[in-house]
């Protein structure tokens, strides 16, 4: 039995976490950008073992803005940034709010069961940047939001109309990631300052202040080599009154990964993060006691496990998300197979609708897809990618009667101005439009010998964006098999980008698109995901 937990909490790309408790059950929500459905919901009995149970946003709004169409701008870099969700006991509803990048509105969804159907309740005609919701003891709902100027909005009884707004804090420093709490009668607004510092506002005079301010951590070192300082998360308490801070660390190429540490409050109600403070910055620990979280069987130190994603139910499992809103007429689950029809005529993977993605997992991931290609048409391109703004894939190119296994890299899409992926609009950051840079180059190919083929991506996801590891390049190998056991690499190793453009990490992407006419399809029986420990 283990009496400690180990960071990272979840070695996946789950940034801007909102974590809260209802009874004995914990919930987490995270940013998902242009992926759909948006805003994944995870649950845990102990704050350590997490399971995907749903999404708060069934379809990104407005739906046409977030649907891939070569006649319209894409939504890369836009969509679901830092959002907020809490439970309101008076109505028995979970409320989710998201200021959708690419719009000027804050959208509202509710659900009685976060694992069930979420219903859009409309939109507040204001953009609450990086917002945090509080349901006060008297059932009043407040939202803290903003950057250098922090506003507090009071909502109506339905939680969908602003009835009052005041400025509660102004700063010369850049602030974001607001979360709001009421703890022992005091109001707190938890904020990130200049990306590596966590600061907190505290008021004992009511939700509108006045607020005092103190820094909680300043550039604290990460528990994970090669990653950035923990920041921009939220507080959560246990049933026995202990507090934890769930932050994230920049850990590219995986993305932004949650970490957790205990929090204690002093006699005046000021919080501090438990860490090793041998100096002013401090060290977020790799392991902490499981105090108040219970003991469980210790996970293997190698973190190795295999998970099979089958396609036997009526819907996809909640770990899957599409690149932009999908065309639901072009995919189905049938006889234990996922059928992906071509939905777009294009030369670009980044313009192809219905690319289905799965988050990579650190420290290393092996994803293996079993694919049948017998119904591909002339001009079709199907396969498995390392999917990001810079991508590569192993797949099948069908040209005439010939089918070829190919390795393709140098597939790129990016901000119109590479020096400024984010601009400034109406006093808050705004994601700018992107452009297509390259549709990729075939680096290796071999004739397809069988219509059924296993495609595999083996990838080193250890963080390499800070410190000495910044000089290291993480790589992926892409390989194929005709029996699911003996695999052969196709093409060179793929060097992963560590750029933070778009703020997302690498995902596995399953795709099928047409370059000539629609009508072709591939069928996928399963995906096996194995976690492994890379060694230098």
**Residue 300 scores a pLDDT above 60:** no
- The band of 84, judged by pLDDT with boundaries at 50, 70 and 90, is very high
In angstroms, the CA 114 to CA 439 distance is 39
SS3 at position 485: coil
Q: Give per-residue pLDDT as tens, 255-275.
A: 999 999 999 999 999 999 999
**pLDDT value, residue 535:** 87
- In percent, the amount of the chain with pLDDT more than 70 equals 97
Residue 204: CB atoms within 10 A of its CB come to: 14
230 Cβ partners below 8 Å, 6+ apart? 198, 217, 220, 222, 245, 247, 248, 249, 259, 261, 284
**Residue 299 scores a pLDDT above 80:** no
**pLDDT value, residue 536:** 78
**pLDDT value, residue 426:** 87
In angstroms, the CA 319 to CA 250 distance is 21
360 Cβ partners below 8 Å, 6+ apart? 12, 13, 253, 254, 367, 459, 461, 505, 506, 507, 508
In angstroms, the CA 207 to CA 300 distance is 46
Q: Give per-residue pLDDT as tens, 377-435.
A: 999 999 999 999 999 999 999 999 999 999 999 999 999 887 778 999 888 999 999 99
* Residue entry with tokens 């850049």: 174
2 Cβ partners below 8 Å, 6+ apart? 290, 295, 296, 297, 298, 299
Lookup: tokens for 334: 């049938």
In angstroms, the CA 165 to CA 193 distance is 22
Residue 315: CB atoms within 10 A of its CB come to: 8
In angstroms, the CA 446 to CA 482 distance is 13
- List the one residue out of 225, 190, 317, 177 whose CA is nearest residue 11: 225
- The band of 301, judged by pLDDT with boundaries at 50, 70 and 90, is very low
Q: Which domains does the chain have, with CATH numbers?
A: 4-289 (2.115.10.20), 305-532 (2.60.120.200)
- The band of 449, judged by pLDDT with boundaries at 50, 70 and 90, is very high
Mean pLDDT of 308-319: 94
**Residue 139 scores a pLDDT above 70:** yes
**pLDDT value, residue 293:** 87
- The band of 68, judged by pLDDT with boundaries at 50, 70 and 90, is very high
- Average pLDDT of every residue of the chain: 95
- The band of 480, judged by pLDDT with boundaries at 50, 70 and 90, is very high
Mean pLDDT of 217-233: 97
* Residue entry with tokens 């993480």: 474
């Amino acid at each position: 039995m283990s009496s400690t937990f180990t960071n990272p909490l979840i070695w996946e790309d789950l940034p801007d976490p909102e974590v809260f408790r209802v009874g004995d059950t914990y919930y987490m929500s995270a940013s998902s950008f242009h992926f759909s459905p948006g805003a994944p919901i995870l649950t845990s009995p102990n704050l350590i073992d997490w399971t995907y149970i749903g999404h708060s946003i069934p379809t990104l709004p407005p739906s046409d803005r977030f649907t891939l169409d070569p006649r319209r701008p894409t939504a890369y870099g836009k969509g679901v940034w830092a959002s907020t969700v809490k439970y309101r006991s008076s109505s028995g509803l979970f409320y989710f709010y998201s200021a959708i990048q690419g719009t000027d509105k804050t959208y509202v969804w509710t659900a009685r069961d976060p694992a069930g159907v979420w219903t859009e309740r409309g939109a507040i005609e204001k953009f609450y940047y990086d917002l945090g919701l509080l349901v006060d003891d008297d059932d009043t709902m407040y939202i803290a939001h903003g950057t250098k100027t922090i506003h507090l909005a009071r909502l109506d009884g339905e939680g969908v109309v602003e009835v009052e707004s005041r400025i509660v804090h102004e700063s010369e420093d850049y602030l974001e990631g607001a979360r709001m709490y009421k703890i022992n009668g005091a109001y707190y607004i938890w904020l990130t300052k200049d990306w590596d510092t966590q600061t907190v506002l505290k008021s004992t005079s009511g939700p509108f202040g006045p607020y005092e301010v103190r820094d909680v951590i300043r550039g604290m070192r990460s528990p994970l080599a090669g990653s950035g300082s923990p920041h921009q998360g939220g507080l959560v308490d246990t049933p026995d009154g202990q507090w934890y801070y769930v932050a994230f660390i920049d850990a590219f190429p995986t993305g932004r990964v949650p970490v957790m540490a205990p929090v204690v409050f002093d006699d005046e109600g000021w919080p501090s993060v438990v860490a090793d403070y041998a100096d002013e910055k401090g060290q977020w620990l790799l392991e902490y006691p499981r105090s108040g979280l219970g003991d469980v069987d210790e996970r293997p130190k190698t973190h190795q496990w295999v998970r099979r994603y089958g396609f036997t139910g009526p819907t996809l499992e909640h770990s899957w998300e599409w690149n932009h809103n999908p065309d639901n007429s072009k995919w189905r689950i049938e006889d234990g197979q996922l059928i992906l029809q071509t939905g777009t005529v294009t030369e670009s993977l980044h313009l192809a609708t219905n690319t289905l993605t799965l988050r990579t997992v650190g420290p290393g991931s092996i994803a293996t897809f079993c694919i049948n290609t017998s119904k591909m048409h002339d001009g079709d391109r199907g396969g498995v990618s390392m999917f990001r703004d810079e991508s590569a894939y192993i797949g099948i190119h069908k040209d005439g009667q010939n089918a070829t296994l190919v390795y393709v890299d140098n597939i790129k899409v990016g901000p119109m101005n590479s020096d400024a992926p984010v601009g400034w609009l109406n006093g808050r950051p705004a994601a700018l439009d992107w452009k297509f840079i390259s549709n990729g180059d075939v680096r290796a190919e071999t004739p397809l010998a069988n219509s059924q083929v296993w495609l595999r991506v083996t990838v080193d996801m250890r963080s390499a964006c800070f410190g000495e590891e910044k000089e290291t390049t993480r790589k992926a190998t892409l390989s194929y098999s005709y029996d699911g056991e003996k695999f052969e690499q196709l093409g060179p190793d793929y060097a992963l980008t560590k750029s933070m453009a778009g703020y997302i990490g690498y995902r596995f992407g399953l795709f099928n698109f047409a370059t000539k006419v629609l009508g072709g399809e591939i069928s996928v029986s399963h995906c096996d995901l194995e976690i492994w420990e890379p060694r230098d």
